[in-house]
Amino acid sequence: TELLSQRAKVTEARSLDQYAADFVQFSADFSSDFKATEALFVDAETPIGFIKFLEQIAARSNLRLKIVPGTPKKVKGEAWPSMEFQLSFTGTYPEIFVFTEKLENAPFLLEIQNVTISRTKTRPLQGEVPKETVSFTLLLRVFTGPLKESIKAL
């Protein structure tokens, strides 16, 4: 019986060793996928990369952008922590559609929560074709990586 007990322990150790080797191989095989998945999440502590992304697509869309970041938080029942950003800008309908299309194709995991559009009155300069401009406010929720203890306390 002692020999059978020792044999079972050796078999179990070999199985655990094989599981560990399989895990290491799996991790190596899919490391690029893991890195790509991690890149979907905004850095909650310093979301500079995400803010630069927003500024770049606003500039390419000929929009002046005002960004108001929220506080990172973990909502009970949600899979990941998140933070909100309020975006405000004024432009023409085509410029805003270009911006929102680029935002939809963002390399970040995000959700548009609220949109407010209102007309603005502008007077064209003499000889200029009138353009319909609108004020646009967008509330975005972006998902972040794990929150550090210092952020969780906020």
The percentage of the chain sitting over the pLDDT mark of 70, rounded to a whole number, equals 86
Give pLDDT tens digits for 11-39: 888 888 888 887 787 777 767 766 766 77
The alpha carbon torsion through 144, 145, 148, 152 (nearest 10 deg) reads: 40
pLDDT at residue 125 in the model: 67
pTM above 0.75, yes or no: no
Give pLDDT tens digits for 88-111: 998 888 999 999 999 999 999 999
pLDDT at residue 34 in the model: 63
Radius of gyration of the chain (CA): 25
Q: What is the mean pLDDT of residues 113-137?
A: 80
Residues 6+ apart with CB under 8 A from 79: none
Closest CA to 89 of 132, 35, 133, 122: 133
Average pLDDT, the chain: 84
Give pLDDT tens digits for 126-140: 667 667 888 999 999
pLDDT at residue 32 in the model: 73
What the block records as the tokens of 117 is: 């559009």
pLDDT at residue 138 in the model: 94
pLDDT at residue 148 in the model: 66
pLDDT at residue 143 in the model: 92
Closest CA to 142 of 36, 70, 66: 70
